[in-house]
Structure 1
Amino acid sequence: MTETITRPLSTEEVSEATGIPAGTLRYMRHCGTGPRSYRLGRSVRYDTSDVAAWLAAQKAATARGGDAA
């Protein structure tokens, strides 16, 4: 079994990638509403796949218009 391991992202890196302020990501973590995260030592980390899945869920839940015919 071969799995590709990607480097986990910091809060600041997720902020930069998504445009969501780091403080908002911290608040969403506190409320349990943001992308899935975990502690690695003292640091909070996010897996890229979890961030991508959360973004896709947000898009699916809030998308409007653009009917595909």
Structure 2
Amino acid sequence: MASAISAVTTLRAGLPDRYLTPDDIAELFGVPLETVYQWRKKRTGPPGFRVGKHVRYDPAEVRAWVAQQSSTDIAA
């Protein structure tokens, strides 16, 4: 699958300036799509929101989640 993310103009620290899909999140982190769904179910992954029946992720929130994970790992 060609990277949909690399084809989009990026404005937020390497993340696209659009809402991300679960497929985008799986590709960004190199994890299976099912892992992204499990993160959402367990509320352990980046925060998402629903647009109708679709889940989307704000790139700024994803970046903040990554920063939080990094700081948690350093503190541990």
Query: What amino acid is the match of 2:62?
Result: V
- RMSD of the TM alignment (CA)? 1.4
Q: Sequence identity of aligned pairs in percent?
A: 36
Q: Compare CA radii of gyration and give the structure with the larger one.
A: 1
After TM superposition, the score normalised by the length of structure 2 is: 0.70
Task: Flag structure 2 segments of 5+ consecutive residues without an equivalent.
Answer: 1-16
1:30 aligns with 2:41: yes
Structure number with higher strand proportion: 2
**Greater relative contact order: 1 or 2 (C-alpha under 8 angstroms, separation 6 or more)?**
1
Q: In structure 2, what is the Cα distance between the partners aligned to 1:28 and 1:18?
A: 12
Task: Flag structure 1 segments of 5+ consecutive residues without an equivalent.
Answer: 1-5, 65-69
After TM superposition, the score normalised by the length of structure 1 is: 0.76
